[in-house]
Every structure is written in structure tokens, then in C-alpha cells.
Amino acid sequence: MSGADIIIGVDAGTSVIKAVAFTLSGEQIGAASVRNRYEMRRDGSATQSLSQTWNDCAAAIRGLGEKIDDLPGRTAAIALTGQGDGTWLVGKDDQPAGDAWIWLDARAAPTVSRLVKGADERARFEATGTGLNTCQQGTQMAHMQAICPGLLDRSEVALHCKDWLFLNLTGVRATDPSEASFTFGNFRDRRYSDVVISALGLEKRRHLLPEIIDGSKETFPLTADAARQTGLKSGTPVTLGYVDMVMTALGSGVHTGEAGVACSTVGSTGVHMRAVRSREVHLNAEGTGYVICLPSDDLVTQVQTNMASTLNIDWALSVAEDLMREMGEAPSHAELVARIDGWMDGTVPGALVYHPYISEAGERGPFVNADARASFVGLNANHRFPDMIRAVVEGLGMAARDCYSAMGDMPNELRLTGGAARSSSLRKVLAAALDTPVRTSSREEAGAAGCAMMAAVAIGAYPDMDACIAEWVTPLLGPAEAPEADLVPVYDTLFSSYRKARIALAPVWDDLAAGRAAQGENQ
């Protein structure tokens, strides 16, 4: 496109949809966002309107156009990423078959428990490299087949969030190699696997799986209808990016050529990953984690994910807000967040164990247990709220170490992204917990940047992804922050206690889950 010098990266997260403008050399020059909406209910459901999500995406792009002069004429490509897992079913005439089951939905827990005992489970895991959990499209569809098969019957294709937006932009039903292979395929050849589909009991639903396309190699034109709704030009190239986890990692430096590097995203969830060749993947005996393809031939990320990361901090601060509101006007959430570093400075490291399993969906990494729940261990009458806040932050460090332990050795260097990466206390905890230097990227919107990088390669602005990384990623990495030597042995001891306690608590979680089920039956 003549005069086009901007790539728009769209990141459709769980809470916010962002449209971000980058120059062809990777400079971020503008952003617009729209709050996303989803509903959670007592039955464990977490759903999102497909139509509303598309409308919000279009509004975010229009909002970007209000901030950048001649955005339609300057846009060389649009790229998409979004929240992973979940099931976005589409029926006749590309209309929603129902609300999406998003990754927070916990209803598939009984089906997960059944499937993990199946004779073909290990073969499924060795193909996908991914442990079963309630988040995934495969387990959700298997559960739908058991409890609401009519929903699948009236569907024509099963998409993910970004795939749904791509359909609205281009009219093409497709998914990408990353989500396709960790859900229904084999990460080695990036294709669907009969073994996996059979292990999930979904042979009769295979027709719902869309075409797999690689957005770093091909684009599709923006339709006239989508152009009208977004304010962009019809025919603008559109790239389908990979799932948000690896797009964020790509934009943050998970792969810049050095060996032993890892990347953690500390946001609502905790995502811990390292880039390796397919043959170097370490598949643990427990059958947990993810293997997710990167947009580079034979390069994948080995991933372990905590269901909840900063959601634990949000919970703790909301308790304080509620109590203070009872007594009068409460400070804002942002004001409480600003106090965390001060609270950390005034407390003793390693005094309490906290397990950050605050999600109602339990935990998925490095173990899978839908009934896992958060807990404090070691409280006494002298502990106060700042001590609990420290324990929560340290719990995130212990969870990260637990995840990297399941993938092999600790990383030689950790690249950190996500909103919490701005906290010096959290960086200090992670560096000492993993006994490795930590670097943060100054990239503001790493997920949007990651998919925009794919578009930059697809339209020929760069010959390959490594060349794009050299200009878009490496220069934005900050200096390494070394672990504090006196904290490392403290956290070694704390991690031992953390692991022992979480293993010992498993039967307690079972009892609590049985109690919840009994109460539900009696209501």
C-alpha cells in the first residue's frame, strides 16, 4: 500500500481490547482500548458475548483512528492476538452459536478428571506437550458433548477469541498453529492429530476444527463490511497472530538468540516460558504445562502457567478496601498498590507460606487440580496485613520457581513483562526465588507488538523473524538486576516449605470440594 507506514496490533485480552499503532521499525506511536466484559456465575461458568467482543474490537480500532492522522491511508497491515484457550462457537452465516466459554470457565472439571485417566492420555500429552485443564477448548468441547451436545450440533466451527475477530475482519474461518497444536495437534508438525482428537473423544466433531494458517507467512484482505465498521480501508492486509501468551513473550524477549533465557508474564495469570527447539522439549512425568509454537520454524515455547498471578494481589487489596469502606471512605485500588513496596520493605522475608491458587478454577501449572485453593501457612498473632502482602508477593515467586522446576533447570536470565513487572519488590523476589538476573522490557504493549512483528514479516518489511526481533525487541531490554545474595538461601528454604505444604494440602482441597458439592446439592 503506497505510503503505508503503520502496523496495527490488536490484543483482545480478558479485560481489555487494545489497538496499538507501531511504525514499521517497531516504535509505538499510539494506542486505544475498550473495556471487555465477561460474566462469571456460581456454577463455575465464565462466558463472553461474541457479538459484543467484535463490537468492542471495532470500537478500539476506530478509537485509534481518532488519535492518529490518516490511519486508514497509513495502515500497512492489521495483526491480531488474544486471550488463549476457551471455546468460541460459530454457526450458520458466521453468527455466534452461543456465548463463548472463556479460559476462566471451570465447568469442564469433571470431564478433565475423566479424560486424564484415559488409556490414550499419555499419547495425547506427548503429541501436544500440553496437560489437560478446564481452560482448553478440547476439554470444554468434550464437556459440552456430555452435557449440552445441542450447542455443538448447531455450530459449524470452533474458534478462539482472536480467530473470531479474524473471521469478522476477513470472512475467513481459521486458527493459528499455536492454539491448534497445543489443543488438538502435534507441536512438531503443527497439524491436527488423530491421536489427540480420539483421546478427547471428539472424532465426530472434527469437522468443527478450522483451517490452520500461519500469519507470519500469509495475509488476508480486510472486507468491505469490516472496513466500514473499523474505519480502515477495504483490502488492508490482515494477519492472524498466535495466542497472546507467545505474542507477549516474543515482544518481550523470550527469543533473542542467547541460550538459557526465559520470559515470565506477571499479569492476571502467571505465564512462564522458555524458547527451545522441538527436539529439546522436556515433557515432565506429571503431564502438565504447555508447548506452544513460535512463529519461527521448529522453535517452540515450553510453558507452565499459574491460573492466577496478580489476581492474588487484587484479592488481598480488595479485602483491605472492603474493611476500610466499612469504616468510611476507602483509598482507591491504585493507592493501595502504591503502598506495596513500602509494606514489603518493613516486613521479614520468608516468614509465611502463601499458595496463590485464588482462582475458582484451581491451578493448572505446574500441576493440574481444579480444586486447589489459596492458603496462608505459618500465621501467628504478631503478623499484620503487610506481612500477608509480602507472603502473597513471595507466593508469586515460589509459583514461578515451581513452574520452571517442572521444565528443567532454572533460567540463566529472566525477561519480565506484565503490569507487575514495574514493581521493584516483585522483581527482587523473582530474582532471588530463581537465583537469576532479571531484565524488563520497556515495550509497553508486548502482546500487540508480538503479533505486529508477525505482520511486519508477512508483508516483507523484514526478511525473517530474527531480523525483526533485532530491531523491535533487543534494544528495548533494560539492564540486568542481579539477585540479592542474602535473599537466595531464604527463598531456597521457603520454596521447600511451599512445595511440601502444597503437596500435603491436596487431600484438604478434596474435602473442601466435597463439602461445596454437598452444600450445592442441599440448596
Q: Are 247 and 265 in contact (CB under 8 A)?
A: no
Q: How confident is the model at residue 2 (pLDDT cuts 50, 70, 90)?
A: low
- Cell 525473517 found at: 464
Matching CATH number, 6-245, of 3.30.420.40, 3.10.20.30, 1.10.238.10, 3.40.50.300 = 3.30.420.40
Residues in the chain: 523
State whether residue 54 is helix, strand or coil: helix
More confident site: 140 or 275: 140
Q: How confident is the model at residue 286 (pLDDT cuts 50, 70, 90)?
A: confident
Say which range, 75-79, 195-199, 223-227, 242-246, has the weakest mean pLDDT: 242-246
Q: What pTM does this model have?
A: 0.85
Q: Are 398 and 270 in contact (CB under 8 A)?
A: no
- Residue 424: per-residue pLDDT: 86
**Residue 44 pLDDT > 80, yes or no?**
yes
- Residue 522: per-residue pLDDT: 47
- Residue 329: per-residue pLDDT: 79
Q: How open is the CA angle 198-201-206, to the nearest 5 degrees?
A: 70
Mean local confidence (pLDDT), 263-289: 85
- Calpha distance 311→120 (Å, rounded): 34
Q: How confident is the model at residue 140 (pLDDT cuts 50, 70, 90)?
A: very high
H helix runs in 171-288, sequence order: 177-184, 194-199, 224-230, 244-252
Q: What are the tens digits of pLDDT across the range 453-463?
A: 999 999 999 99
Residue 295: closest CA among 4, 79, 12, 13: 79
CA quadruple 470, 476, 479, 483: dihedral sign? negative
Q: Where in the chain is the domain with CATH 3.30.420.40?
A: 6-245
Q: Are 432 and 397 in contact (CB under 8 A)?
A: yes
CB neighbour list of residue 176: distance below 8 Å, 6 or more residues apart: 162, 163, 212, 213, 214, 215, 240, 241, 242, 243
Give the start-end residues of each E strand in 217-298: 220-221, 237-240, 261-266, 270-277, 290-293
**Residue 255 pLDDT > 50, yes or no?**
yes
Phi/psi at 335 (5° precision):
-65, -35
Q: How confident is the model at residue 370 (pLDDT cuts 50, 70, 90)?
A: confident
Widest distance between CA atoms in the chain: 70
Q: What are the tens digits of pLDDT across the range 77-120?
A: 999 999 989 999 999 999 999 999 998 898 998 999 899 999 99
Q: Are 139 and 111 in contact (CB under 8 A)?
A: yes
- Calpha distance 182→375 (Å, rounded): 31
- Calpha distance 231→40 (Å, rounded): 33
**Residue 135 pLDDT > 60, yes or no?**
yes
CA quadruple 387, 389, 392, 393: dihedral sign? negative
- Calpha distance 225→235 (Å, rounded): 11
SS3 labels along 148-192: CHHHHHCCCEEECHHHHHHHHHHCCCEECHHHHHHHHEECCCCEE
Mean local confidence (pLDDT), 267-275: 86
Q: Residue 239 forms beta bridges with which residues?
A: 79
- Residue 327: per-residue pLDDT: 81
Other beta carbons within 10 Å of 147? 11
Q: What are the tens digits of pLDDT across the range 477-519?
A: 989 999 999 999 999 999 999 999 999 999 999 999 889 888 7
Residue 457: closest CA among 247, 177, 176, 216: 216
- Calpha distance 157→149 (Å, rounded): 14
| CA dihedral of 133, 138, 140, 146, whole degrees rounded to 10 | -120
Mean local confidence (pLDDT), 345-372: 89
- Residue 287: per-residue pLDDT: 84
Mean pLDDT of the chain: 92
- Calpha distance 135→109 (Å, rounded): 9
Q: What are the tens digits of pLDDT across the range 399-443?
A: 999 999 888 888 999 998 877 777 888 899 999 999 999 998 888
